[in-house]
Amino acid sequence: MSNKALAVSPALPSFDVLAERAKFPILARKIYNKPLVYLDNGASAQKPQEVLDAILSGYAETYSNVHRGAHFLSGESTAAFEKARESARRFVNAERLEEIVFTKGATEAINLVAMSLGAEIGADDEIVISEMEHHSNIVPWHFLRERKGAKLLWAPVAEDGSFEIEAFARLLTKNTKIVAITHMSNVLGTISPVAEIVRLTNEVGAKVLIDGSQGAVHEIVDVQALGCDFYVCTGHKLYGPSGIGFLYGKYELLAQMQPYQGGGEMIGDVTQDRITYAEPPHRFEAGTPPIVEAIGLGTALDYMMGLDRLSVAAHESALLAHVTEEMDKLGGVRIFGRAPGKGALVTFEVAGAHAQDVSTLLDRGGIAVRAGTHCAQPLMTRLGLTATARASFALYNTHEEVEIFIQGLRRVKELFA
């Protein structure tokens, strides 16, 4: 959903970027004796002190395995773990707590859906994805192409990076079984028209998964209003720990799906000749879960929900406008992805310079950016590229950092002129 469509409670404090920035200890570091300018948030975001404190407390004060124990620490740890599930439910506005499945991240969440729904996929069934998907939302569907004979269809993107909704609609047929589309491209910054994607998918009776790895960071998500069958999030981009994420799934679908992994916790009964499965979400959470990571994620989501997220979005949009304007003034710098309303990242190339060299030179100035294919090789092929650099912004980045980044690019240009 668009941020513009959702109101923010007047009880939320106004957004003060310097006040929020002070909550992230790592941002005070110096790199090569230069202030750290961290612009690799699309890969992984930094963590506020309250998340770090929650992780330390989870290990140092309350740690125990969850759900199974009858002792005090187990009860305390279980309560904190399930409180984090409630935070995830509120973050995406799921109807039921049981619709939130903890996973290792977005990658595992997508694999879970692909493998569980894969039991129903046969030869000539069709799966629709887009040209701008991350490998995590490509490879699991290729598995079904390889192993079940499914057909993989690719929704195109326009030259400016916009999602071509009419071309997407023409791909949908009675054979379409699954649609899996990113909410926001990690390369182009394009915000997909997810509400319209869901509506069109529903018309042909297919299931729809939205990859929220980037989108949930910058957009306010309401899965009930959106109507998607599945939505996935990853914790480390949401200012939380790595190794944790979650899957939202409509309860009636989760209750019908076969488990993705087997082990403890996900069963009802086990005998020598039969097993029964637990109800969702636990049937999809085999084994000891990432307990402290989940607690840290819950804290990160609470932190985000405590902000005026429309003001955060406005701040990030201003950073994007600033950096785009200044990069365009430089000359010899090409930005890929100019779709209207795109998210706060710029993927680019500097004439005559390899992306790795650009990244390395910026790094010597304390500026962290990403270089490579960004786990989106089909999109790189579509754009005729082998590698690009990417600067991606978070709520704690400042306009002063934009200026430092531009100065760094200017020095790179001078070296390769």
- 7 — pLDDT class (breaks 50, 70, 90): very low
Q: With a cut of 80, say whether residue 4 has pLDDT above it.
A: no
CATH number of the domain to which 327 belongs: 3.90.1150.10
Q: With a cut of 60, say whether residue 146 has pLDDT above it.
A: yes
Give residue 223's pLDDT: 98
Residues 232, 169 share a domain? yes
- 260 — pLDDT class (breaks 50, 70, 90): confident
Give residue 222's pLDDT: 98
**DSSP string of 353-398?**
--HHHHHHHHHTTTEE-EEE-TT-HHHHHHHT-S-EEEEE--TT--
Give residue 11's pLDDT: 55
Last residue of a domain, one of 305, 331, 366: 305
Q: With a cut of 70, say whether residue 10 has pLDDT above it.
A: no
Residues 102, 149 share a domain? yes
Give residue 201's pLDDT: 98
Mean local confidence (pLDDT), 346-373: 97
Residues 159, 196 share a domain? yes
Residues 287, 350 share a domain? no
The kind and range of the H/E element at 112 are: helix 106-118
Mean local confidence (pLDDT), 39-43: 98
Q: How many folded domains does the chain comprise? A: 2
Residues 265, 412 share a domain? no
Residues 227, 122 share a domain? yes
- 68 — pLDDT class (breaks 50, 70, 90): confident
Residues 93, 76 share a domain? yes
312, 320, 375, 389: the catalytic one is 375
Domain with 382 in it: 3-47+308-416
Q: What is the pLDDT of residues 181-211, one digit of tens each?
A: 999 999 999 999 999 999 999 999 999 999 9
Residues 6 or more apart from 331 whose CB is under 8 A from it? none
Last residue of a domain, one of 272, 305, 338: 305
Residue corresponding to tokens 């620490």: 73
CATH number of the domain to which 229 belongs: 3.40.640.10
Q: Is 375 noted as a catalytic residue in this protein?
A: yes
Give residue 3's pLDDT: 47
Greater pLDDT, 265 or 60? 60
- 13 — pLDDT class (breaks 50, 70, 90): low
Q: Give me the chain's average pLDDT, please.
A: 95
Q: With a cut of 50, say whether residue 9 has pLDDT above it.
A: no
Residues 6 or more apart from 272 whose CB is under 8 A from it? none
